Structure 1
Amino acid sequence: MKNLSAYIILGFSLLIISCSNHKEKDNKTEIPNLTNKVVLSSEINWEKLNPARGDSSPQAGTIWGDRKGTVATGFLAKFVDGFSSPPHIHNVTYRAVVIRGEVHNDDVDAENMWMTPGSFWTQPEGAVHITSAKGEENIAYVEIDHGPYLVKPISEAFDNGEKPINIDASNIVWLNTNKTNWINSESKAEISFLWESKDLKGTKGLFVKLPKGYKGTIKSNGSIFHAIIVSGDLNYTLPQTGETKSLDAGSYFNAKDKAIHSISNSFDAEVIVYIRTNGTVKIN
């Protein structure tokens, strides 16, 4: 009887190992071309956003793309406390998210409306505006659909028909698993859909909110996937090496093809991530 029990235990153990190996094999073969990449905020290279202003210029750190080229680009803009730009325009429309500090972006005569981390705004090309910032550290994520990103005088202002959008973090509308099928039924994550462009073949931007204690995956199926940590800290495990990296606000992860992003939030606050993609995502 003892020998029989030993054989049963041995067989059961082998079954578990077999299933585990099969699952591991499936995970490896599900995504044959691993393109996952991580850039930490500490690895960002900073330069002058508007060199013509010299030392008064905000700083810029390109995350993806080429701010000086013609391609779509995402970069961080850093402002000193008390910064206020002169009235100006841009040659391209941009979208932006406040990551640290407080930012005001509006018409020249508008009263200050300080947007806090997690706020979202858009600035149409050709429209006259100013940008101000207050706080010990002020950083915004900025993205353009094509470049180069230039600052121009108000004498070249024009109306392209777009209207600016300013959404404070407190006015973001969040959807849970009962409102969208992009979230697994067992997940407590939430999504806010911010924009979508038909001209860019369905490219869209969204916020994802991950609660304290979250551990799971974000599956993406597009050829474009850029994710910026807006607030909080996130652990990200690279599938190529198994290495786990801690991403703070301003850090970035991406993929150039279908991918599984293994992430967890073991910290004391929720995490908000901004995602730009031309596909769909599934949060498990």
Structure 2
Amino acid sequence: MRPFLLILSTSLFLACTNSNSQNTFDRKNTDTEYQLILTSDVKFDKLNPARGDQSPLAGTLWGDRNGKEATGFLFRPVDGFQSPPHIHNVTYKGIVINGLVHNDDPKAENMWLPSGSFWTQPKGAVHITSAKGSNTMAYIEIEEGPYLVMPTEEHFDSGEEPINVDQSNMVWLDAADIKWIDQSDAKVAFLWGEPSSTEFNGRLIKLPVNFKGKIISKSPDFRAVVIKGTPQYQTPKSEQPTTLEEGSYFSALGHSEHQLSTTDESILYVRSKGSMEIISIK
């Protein structure tokens, strides 16, 4: 597996800049269901119980990795963890939150991905996963379950290509490139999917130091995970803001507003459909 630089095609660039020129949202929707889960409240269990104490831990944020639906969970290996060669029955996406993660063919040289890096693991492909760091953590997302660890003898070719993108190779776009970002110095890096479509897509949102503003979403299913920083978070239904730890999760079912403020640079992973705005509050 080799690293790939995220390159934006002309069509994708135009979709990002022009798809939301109206920026019109129904901000009076009071039926939206919000959810907030702090990392400290996540229940962790063994990701691969067959390995006993050698298994990394997993904490579900949404969905059910043992069920059939799409799911997002936190992955916590110990320092020095290295899996044996194996495959999965489903493709997954991963984003490093803390520490260093290596995910590749068993014969490949180590390529350690730091915080903010993104990778995908195609179903059926033989690989290993390794980790360095006393508090290594990553966010893992699947589009369908169950998430199974299977022996290499059952490998198959799904036709998918793996992706490894070091955080230093991310392509960040700002208000000069995207019309749904105002002049708040926020930036966006597109990871997967078509941002102009009505299907799910994934992106990183980088909020600068001393940002104060909102993410306003028309998505019927909005999910976000804190990858870096400790932003303050509040919804129209909450009376006080909450400080989010790295790995914390917030979501909304229905058109939604998410108020955020920062004292340090913060990065969010967002999975959603349709249009959104990033606006600053004076």
Shorter-normalised TM-score: what interval? 0.7 to 0.9
SS of 1:30's equivalent in the other structure is coil
Note the alpha carbon deviations across 1:54-75, whole angstroms, 9 max, x for none.
1100000000001100000000
202, 206, 226: which one aligns with 1:205: 202
Superposition RMSD on alpha carbons, in Å? Answer: 1.6
Q: TM-score, normalised by structure 2?
A: 0.87
Aligned to 1:175: 173
Q: Displacement of 1:32 after TM fit?
A: 2.0
Aligned to 2:10: none
Q: TM-score, normalised by structure 1?
A: 0.87
Aligned to 2:254: 257
Asked if residue 222 in structure 1 is aligned to residue 219 in structure 2, the reply is: yes
Q: Displacement of 1:224 after TM fit?
A: 1.4
Q: How does 1:112-261 map to 2 (within 5 A)?
A: 112-184=110-182, 186-196=183-193, 202-261=199-258
58, 61, 83: which one aligns with 2:56: 58
How far apart are the structure 2 equivalents of 1:91 and 1:47? 20
Note the alpha carbon deviations across 1:91-137, whole angstroms, 9 max, x for none.
00000000010000000100000000000000000000000000111
How far apart are the structure 2 equivalents of 1:257 and 1:109? 46
Q: Which structure has more RCO (C-alpha within 8 Å, separation ≥ 6)? A: 2
Q: Displacement of 1:278 after TM fit?
A: 1.5
Asked if residue 109 in structure 1 is aligned to residue 107 in structure 2, the reply is: yes
Q: Which amino acid aligns with 1:66?
A: D
Number of equivalent positions = 254
The structure with the largest alpha-carbon Rg is 1
Aligned to 1:275: 270
How far apart are the structure 2 equivalents of 1:242 and 1:256? 19
How far apart are the structure 2 equivalents of 1:147 and 1:233? 31
Question: Structure 2 regions of 5+ residues with no counterpart?
Answer: 1-24
SS of 2:138's equivalent in the other structure is strand
Q: Displacement of 1:197 after TM fit?
A: 6.3
CA contact (8 A) 2:65 2:147 kept: yes
Identity between Structure 1 and Structure 2 (%): 50
How far apart are the structure 1 equivalents of 2:238 and 2:84? 47
79, 93, 96: which one aligns with 2:94: 96
Aligned to 2:17: none
Q: Displacement of 1:45 after TM fit?
A: 0.3
Question: Structure 1 regions of 5+ residues with no counterpart?
Answer: 1-26
Structure number with the higher helix fraction is: 1
Note the alpha carbon deviations across 1:35-70, whole angstroms, 9 max, x for none.
222110101000000001011000000000011000
CA contact (8 A) 2:27 2:255 kept: no
CA contact (8 A) 1:34 1:239 kept: no
How far apart are the structure 2 equivalents of 1:208 and 1:47? 29
Alpha carbons of structure 1 residues 149 and 215: separation in structure 2 relative to 1, 3 Å? same
